[in-house]
Amino acid sequence: MAVKHHDPIGRYVTIEVDGQQYKVFYLSNGKGTPLVCQHTAGCHNHQWRGLLEDDEITQTFQDMANQTQLIILSGGKKNISLPQNIIVISY
């Protein structure tokens, strides 16, 4: 049996917003300018797998695809201000 590991790594992070803590799962790969890949309701962060494994993209960007259901189920949608050097794309 052959096993191949892929470059994207899954991690949990705790984010505090307005005194409330949210545990969020995300996939990450690459280095450089952060590129946050945001999915919409009914989707999953794995839909960004092609982007997370694209060598040309990950040489320039640190791709991160979070799992938003955890935020929504943990107390509702929050508007979070991100630093200007982070790029957010949504599908």
Q: Give the pLDDT confidence of 34-86 residue by residue, as tens digits.
A: 888 877 666 777 788 888 899 999 999 998 888 765 444 444 455 555 555 55
* pTM higher than the cut 0.95: no
Comparing 72 with 3, the larger pLDDT belongs to: 3
Name 62's bridge partners: 30, 34
**Strand ranges (E), 1-91:** 9-17, 20-30, 33-38, 61-66, 87-90
